[in-house]
C-alpha cells in the first residue's frame, strides 16, 4: 500500500513539475501578440480581444494540473492511513489472563 501511495505522489509531483516548467505560457503569449495588427497604434478592442483569448487559452491549458494534483492528494491520503494488523498477529499474542497464572 505504501509503494502505491509513494508512486502516486511521485507521478503527481512529476506531472505538476512538467506542467509548471512547460514553455506553453510564453509561446501562447507570442502567438496571441502576433495576431495583432502591425503598426504603432493598435485598437483597444483588438488588444482586449487578444488578451481575453490568451486568458481563456491558458485557463484551459492549466486545467491539466488538476490530475497530477489529485494524484498527490490520493497518495498522501493512502500514505496517512494507518496499517491494519492482520488477524494472525492478534491471535499469536498471549492473552493477559495467560500471563497472570
- Per-residue model confidence as pLDDT tens digits over 6-50: 999 999 999 988 888 888 878 888 888 887 777 778 788 888 888
For the entire predicted model, the pTM comes to 0.59
- Let me know how long the chain is: 101
- Per-residue model confidence as pLDDT tens digits over 45-66: 888 888 888 888 888 878 888 8
Amino acid at each position: 500500500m505504501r509503494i502505491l501511495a509513494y508512486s502516486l505522489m511521485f507521478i503527481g509531483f512529476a506531472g505538476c513539475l512538467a506542467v509548471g516548467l512547460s514553455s506553453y505560457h510564453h509561446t501562447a503569449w507570442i502567438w496571441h501578440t502576433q495576431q495583432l495588427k502591425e503598426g504603432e497604434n493598435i485598437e483597444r478592442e483588438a488588444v482586449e480581444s487578444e488578451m481575453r483569448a490568451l486568458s481563456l487559452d491558458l485557463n484551459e491549458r492549466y486545467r491539466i494540473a488538476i490530475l497530477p494534483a489529485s494524484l498527490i492528494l490520493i497518495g498522501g491520503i493512502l500514505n496517512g492511513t494507518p496499517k491494519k494488523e492482520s488477524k494472525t498477529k492478534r491471535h499469536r499474542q498471549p492473552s493477559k489472563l495467560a500471563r497472570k497464572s
